[in-house]
Structure 1
């Protein structure tokens, strides 16, 4: 399965926050922010920090994308 953080970035736009401003606010580093931007896996600890910092639920931040198991 893959993850997608587009919901997070839409939420930041809706709240008028820049990515770097958001990272400082919730206490995550630039490397973690880069992982989020590339839709890479991050720890549950990071997701909890984000949800607490933005006062939202995890489904407001991350979407699980199901893998396609079709035969090629």
Structure 2
């Protein structure tokens, strides 16, 4: 796990949106949504779509975790 999308999910809660609503608004698939939920990497195109849909920056939706560090997402 190299990335953590907990910031994204907190932002969705703050905006009153469900994950499936984000997928529809941003225009990405359920498979991509599953990857996000598992903290797997997704393409930069997806990150851009999410940022545009939520009017935010990359820093607002994800953290990049240190290499070789067994840290759980906070």
Q: Report the TM-score when normalising by structure 2.
A: 0.88
Which structure has the larger Rg?
A: 1
TM-score when normalising by structure 1: 0.91
RMSD over aligned CA atoms reads 1.3
Structure 1 spans left out of the alignment, 5+ residues: none
Runs of 4+ aligned residues of structure 1 deviating over 3 Å after TM superposition are none
Q: Which runs of 5+ in 2 are unaligned?
A: 70-74
Residue deviations 1:18-55 (CA, integer Å, cap 9, x gap): 11011101101000000000000100000000000000
Equivalent residue runs for 1:49-68 within 5 Å: 49-68=49-68
